[in-house]
Structure 1
């Protein structure tokens, strides 16, 4: 199975499936967020019963980037490292791969929803279980959307590029953000305010909650990893790995 879609103008920096697998969001250099419907979803196994892995791959090696859905050639689970998306030279060829064991799927030929509102590249996306979508951008904002509307619901301002975001996996009234201003923040969506923040004195390039929402891992451009206790939506440093 192979599907190729003309998805965006310019590089694609982020693709994310919704938790229920019904939608896929994509965004990048053109400042636009597209949401695609997963229109086909079935299991496929090889004769020996092993899963045949499939890969959703974003390719920008051509003048017109495409969103491709294709079966994996060698079945490996290796993922290419994300290139620094906020540095000069980010137009170089890159790809993001999301391995999907057991599943074959097709996307709608056209997006079922398009979100517009960012003025610079969109760097990261994150879905909640209730179909809300967060987007972070080089325009120094995080925006909140919902699949049911094209309107931006809320905007959360930062002082530099926002490189990474994630909803709290057990309480999506909160999310974490990392920025090139060297600060990690936990936000209350309802109150549109910062609940807690820490200055790492290093540009933040990655942020991720643990599945139980009790801890978060923060990565920096210097290669260090900071582990925080995030219970009660506060940031208490537990460990640093250099």
Structure 2
């Protein structure tokens, strides 16, 4: 499940082999059409009022057919091209303006991971269970460079550094290998593992992502693995900066991702929760001190927040990008309109392209899915804070959850009356799918789609066991 770079679309895929693209509501007409077609598509807002605040159109924009086995990974380019990889040993290329597959790239085994080049979307990286890392030239429809991972390591994750100069491959045994993108020449490697205990041999790497917003020479890489740890590495010397502990990921393909400003990390978990972590330790030290708080991670005391999102394993959780929030703000979204228009009437019409400059720090949107086939959209009601402060005749606080992680987002979503979302229905799958369901649900508490998510069993895990 991935948002497009411009925030206009969400792509999903899974066991049913279909890649679906959902469009973000971006006009008053689309919002009105949604509400007219779904009479109960509202949530209960403040003081019992009813508000319709959908994020997506109620039906997929496209359903792409072509894969013959589970869809395993998705990747968007900056120009709205979409790649999908599958257990059918292929990668397929799509574009949002076309209904048919543009190109099919054949492999010799399951293609577990793909990534568009961040600077030049004529190229993409693929990792396969044939132990080969490939850099593909899309216009020429051929492999530009390839390299075979040493010791027949199965590739389970791939990624790029922010500048695209380095390609990264993660393996089933926990090895993370670095290659110069030009020629895929081997550079170095690190072994992602615990220093002691049963995870000291390394576990499968499930996700690799570069930290956005870093300055040149300060690149960082986020690596998720099946030892229930998320690690942040400094790319300059490949040193471990932080090891995040708290979520559960022992056998699923759960991967952590960044918010688009790089300040927060979000992940699903096998304990049915969504976890949100702060990448800025100084803020947490200022808030809790060096010993306070009960939500601390073992290594560097990096705090986290969590909330129970599903009744099953949460296989994926992502933040909607800032651009998505800006788009829905343009079409009369009640949450944003009731708050930010009152505090800054010009915030949604700040340039010639009618693109808002407001980033809506208190209006976060989280999309998550579980193994049973349910996708939920959780919305943080920024109007709640505004109304609360007005009711007490006080000046509206300028503090957002961005500056106080321990006092907001996780706690916010743990309060049922503040879980705001909309609903749309489909049948289909989410990347990593194993179980199939066909539901048509409509709820004021969550946004639900029928989907196919993995249903692996799991056990508790800890470094010291």
Report the TM-score range of the alignment, normalised by the length of the smaller protein.
0.5 to 0.7
Q: Which residue of 2 aligns with 1:169?
A: 118
After the TM superposition, which segments of 4 or more aligned residues of structure 1 sit over 3 Å from their partners? none
Residue 97 of structure 2 corresponds to residue 111 of structure 1: no
Contact 1:32 1:118 in 2 (8 A): yes
How far apart are residue 122 of structure 1 and its match?
Answer: 0.3
Q: 1:167 to 1:105 in 2, by over 3 A?
A: farther
Q: Which residue of 1 aligns with 2:348?
A: none
- Structure 2 gap ranges (5+): 28-52, 192-465
Q: Which residue of 2 aligns with 1:206?
A: 157
Query: Of 121, 131, 139, which aligns to 1:182?
Result: 131
Residue 18 of structure 2 corresponds to residue 32 of structure 1: yes
Indicate the SS of the match to 1:222: coil
Residue 190 of structure 2 corresponds to residue 227 of structure 1: no
How far apart are residue 173 of structure 1 and its match?
Answer: 0.3
Q: Which residue of 2 aligns with 1:5?
A: none
Contact 1:19 1:127 in 2 (8 A): yes
Instruction: Please give the per-residue CA displacement for 1:65-106, whole angstroms capped at 9, x wherever unaligned.
Output: xxxxxxxxxxxxxxxxxxxxxxxxxxxxxxxxxxxxxxx971
Q: Which has the higher strand share?
A: 1
How far apart are residue 208 of structure 1 and its match?
Answer: 0.2
Indicate the SS of the match to 2:103: strand
Residue 5 of structure 2 corresponds to residue 19 of structure 1: yes
How far apart are residue 182 of structure 1 and its match?
Answer: 0.5
In 1, the alpha carbon distance for the partners of 2:81 and 2:126 equals 16
How far apart are residue 139 of structure 1 and its match?
Answer: 0.1
How far apart are residue 218 of structure 1 and its match?
Answer: 0.6
Q: Which residue of 2 aligns with 1:51?
A: none
In 1, the alpha carbon distance for the partners of 2:63 and 2:78 equals 19
Indicate the SS of the match to 1:106: coil
In 2, the alpha carbon distance for the partners of 1:223 and 1:108 equals 40
Q: Which residue of 2 aligns with 1:128?
A: 77
Q: Which residue of 2 aligns with 1:55?
A: none
How far apart are residue 114 of structure 1 and its match?
Answer: 1.1
Equivalent residue runs for 1:140-155 within 5 Å: 140-155=89-104
Query: Of 176, 197, 200, which aligns to 2:146?
Result: 197
In 2, the alpha carbon distance for the partners of 1:237 and 1:38 equals 41
Instruction: Please give the per-residue CA displacement for 1:118-155, whole angstroms capped at 9, x wherever unaligned.
Output: 00000000011111100000000000000011100000
Instruction: Please give the per-residue CA displacement for 1:139-180, whole angstroms capped at 9, x wherever unaligned.
Output: 000000000111000000000000000110100000000000
Q: Which has the higher helix share?
A: 2
In 2, the alpha carbon distance for the partners of 1:189 and 1:217 equals 19
How far apart are residue 228 of structure 1 and its match?
Answer: 1.0
Q: Which residue of 2 aligns with 1:75?
A: none
The structure number with the bigger radius of gyration is 2
Contact 1:40 1:105 in 2 (8 A): no
Indicate the SS of the match to 2:60: coil
Indicate the SS of the match to 2:162: coil
How far apart are residue 107 of structure 1 and its match?
Answer: 1.4
- Structure 1 gap ranges (5+): 1-14, 42-103
In 2, the alpha carbon distance for the partners of 1:167 and 1:18 equals 12
- When the two structures are superposed, what TM-score results if normalisation uses the length of structure 2? 0.35
How far apart are residue 40 of structure 1 and its match?
Answer: 5.9
In 2, the alpha carbon distance for the partners of 1:108 and 1:29 equals 23
How far apart are residue 216 of structure 1 and its match?
Answer: 1.4
Instruction: Please give the per-residue CA displacement for 1:167-217, whole angstroms capped at 9, x wherever unaligned.
Output: 101000000000001100000000110111111121100000111110011
In 2, the alpha carbon distance for the partners of 1:40 and 1:205 equals 36
* CA RMSD between the two structures: 1.6
